[in-house]
Amino acid sequence: MIATGLIKFYLPGNTFQVGSKKSRFLDRMLLKRMLMSVMKNSPGLYILLCLLIMACSKKNSPANGTPPAVIVPPIVVAADTSLYKMVPFPMGAAVAINLVKNNAKYSGIVTKEFNSITAENAMKFSGLHPAENTFFWTDADYLVAYAQTNNKRLHGHTLNWYQSMPTWVTNFSGDSTAWEKMLKTHIQTVVAHFKGKVAAWDVVNEYFNDNGTVRNSLWVQKLGEDYIARCFQYANQADPDVLLFYNDYGHEYSTAKRTAITNMIASFKTRGIPIHGIGLQFHLSVGQPDANISAAIASAAATGLQVHISELDIRLNANKAQTFPFTTTMASQQAAKYEHVVKAYKSILAAQQYGITTWNVTDADSWIPNWQGAPDYPLPFDANYQRKEAYRGIVRGAK
Ligand code: XIL
């Protein structure tokens, strides 16, 4: 039986939830009594009922011995609370535009629970610049209007990345001067379009490999390793007021990578290259030790820049099992990890706390199952748009 945890039976003097031990015991007692009386009064009907019960129990019994998916009950939080009001820094979510537009439950959560938003895909190169002389603003502008109407901060993601390049860019056949012009045009057109509308930009995303060397991206091949500094300069020229971030993953598990990042930031400062913030994506696994998470945050804070936990999610299915029910144990382990992230983040200077952003909103919308090719439950809201234990973990961490 699947327990929703929401359905309750009321019998005189008794309240019990479907699927609870108590309810299963009472179910069996009632059934037994009912069958006894049918057997006495109508043996034919009795046989029919027995056959029916056998058929039903077969259908409900798990195939290949795996337990049925447990749907962990949502947590109870006062209806009028908002996540962002319970944490002392901006609390954000990456959002899918089509869901903000078309799914009232989804947009309801975003409006109520978060005060910062990032476009999950709509402001990437391929989202905004599908052909050499065509910019597509409609979706991103929708988000700008949504953010303004609902008083949300908008975080820009991302001006330059080795992924999400439209084919006209990957097929681009100009020399290095033409590539430079194309890069500069993209950055400056986009930054100028959103001037005064976004608080910050992830200027370059994922420039480094995990071992601390520079990724051999198409940009590096065409323009050399120092193109990254020019990206920051171009953005700064187009909008001197917007904050500029370097964003990457892996700070928690690779000291080589975080050293490379902090060295780059130090050299930017020496050279006068504008940079204001560092984004730690934090696509975490629940097994990631707390100490690594703390060390990553401390290392980012030591740069003196704004620190953004920019793409937080905490996955559970390390072995990529294809059948993977979410259990209450997992729910509390995940909540404890969320709690630690928030605690460690809160320990840095308040002035450096740009905020924490989760990468999408609910388990139904997360990119993780697709990315890892296996089910998972990485976010603070479940697939039914209910708050999970992880939500409470965030609130606990903020206390
Ligand atoms: C992911 C989106 O979530 C997916 O929908 C898309 O198909 C691929 O990109 N690091 C980043 C994000 O900086 O932009 C990525 O977002 C996830 C990893």
Confidence of residue 5 (pLDDT cuts 50, 70, 90): very low
CB of 205 closer than 6 A to ligand 1? yes
Residue 19 or residue 273, greater confidence: 273
- What are the residue boundaries of the structural domains of the chain, listed by start? 8-61, 83-397
CB of 116 closer than 6 A to ligand 1? no
Longest CA–CA separation in the chain, Å = 94
CB of 162 closer than 6 A to ligand 1? no
* 206 in catalytic set: yes
CB of 120 closer than 6 A to ligand 1? yes
Confidence of residue 35 (pLDDT cuts 50, 70, 90): very low
DSSP string, 256-316: HHHHHHHHHHHHHHHHT----EEEE--EEETTS-HHHHHHHHHHHHTTTSEEEEEEEEEE-
Looking at residues 344-357, what average pLDDT do you find? 98
Q: Residue 258: CA atoms inside 13 Å, Cβ hemisphere, count?
A: 24
CB of 367 closer than 6 A to ligand 1? yes
pTM for the predicted model, two decimal places: 0.83
Look at residue 98 and tell me whether its pLDDT is greater than 90.
yes
pLDDT at 41: 60
The closest residue, in CA terms, to atom 3 on ligand 1 is 367
CATH superfamily of 83-397: Glycosidases (3.20.20.80)
Look at residue 290 and tell me whether its pLDDT is greater than 70.
yes
Q: What's the CA-to-centroid distance between 120 and ligand 1, angstroms?
A: 7
Q: What's the CA-to-centroid distance between 25 and ligand 1, angstroms?
A: 47
Q: Which of 113, 120, 311, 389 is an active site residue?
A: 311
Q: Residue 247 and residue 162: Cα distance in Å, rounded? A: 13
pLDDT at 49: 52
**Residue % of the chain over a pLDDT of 70:** 82
Confidence of residue 48 (pLDDT cuts 50, 70, 90): low
Give the number of the atom of ligand 1 that is nearest the alpha carbon of residue 161.
Answer: 13
Look at residue 150 and tell me whether its pLDDT is greater than 80.
yes
Q: Residue 389: CA atoms inside 13 Å, Cβ hemisphere, count?
A: 17
pLDDT at 222: 98
User: Per residue in 225-244, pLDDT tens?
Assistant: 999 999 999 999 999 999 99
Q: Residue 64 and residue 114: Cα distance in Å, rounded? A: 42
Between 6-15, 159-168, 275-284, 351-360, the lowest mean confidence (pLDDT) is in: 6-15
pLDDT at 136: 98
pLDDT at 1: 30
**Residue % of the chain over a pLDDT of 90:** 80
Q: Say which residues have a Cβ less than 8 Å from residue 343's Cβ, sequence separation at least 6.
A: 397
Among 98, 120, 284, say which to mutate for ligand 1: greatest number of ligand atoms within 8 Å of CB.
120
Matching residue, tokens 């060397």: 213
Between 16-25, 94-103, 258-267, the lowest mean confidence (pLDDT) is in: 16-25
- Closest by CA to 124, choosing from 170, 92, 157, is 157
Look at residue 209 and tell me whether its pLDDT is greater than 70.
yes
* 311 in catalytic set: yes
User: Per residue in 58-96, pLDDT tens?
Assistant: 333 333 334 445 567 777 777 678 999 999 999 999 999
Instruction: Please report, for the chain, how many H helices and E strands are present, in that order.
Output: 15, 11
Tokens read off for 387: 């708050």
CB of 310 closer than 6 A to ligand 1? no
